[in-house]
Amino acid sequence: MTERTGRRRAGREAGGREGRREARANATVKAMPFIERKIPYFEMLSTEALELIEHNADRLLAEIGIDFLDDPEVLELFKNAGAEVEGTRVRFAPGLCRSIIQASAPASYTQHARNPARSVTIGGKNT
């Protein structure tokens, strides 16, 4: 048997199975640049329709509320924020959810990938 030393045998062309394997190992995939929004936003609903949806959501959250099972830490957080907590059910005063979201949610954030070159920015003018 012959030993492989990493050198090619004389007279042999680069390519074949070894060449393809080497090409795959050294290949880099370039990601497409992300698209930035350059057109104005399209309003699907009128201001009145959005207000109606928000009013109905506030009513449901105030009258029925949401159950948070097996998470006493979350119940304590909402209680400290001003929500009414009964057992595992949390009821929110009208406008409380909106104010919590506006105070804590970022306008944009980065979703990190295993490969940092493929991380995605979500929000703002990114689509």
- Residue 73: give the domain boundaries: 46-127
Residue range 38-67, pLDDT digits in tens = 888 788 999 999 999 999 999 999 999 999
Tokens for 83, please give them. 């929500």
Distance of CA 66 to the CA centre of its chain: 23
Q: Report the 10 Å Cβ neighbour count for 65.
A: 18
- How many domains does the chain divide into? 1
The torsion of the CA quartet 86, 87, 89, 91, rounded to 10 degrees, works out to: 20
Residue 20 counted as domain residue: no
Q: Report the 10 Å Cβ neighbour count for 68.
A: 17
Residue 98 counted as domain residue: yes
Residue 33 counted as domain residue: no
Residue 28 counted as domain residue: no
Reported for 44-48, long-range contacts at CB under 8 A and 24+ positions apart, including other chains, are none
pTM over 0.85: no
| DSSP conformational letter for 45 | S
Residue 56 counted as domain residue: yes
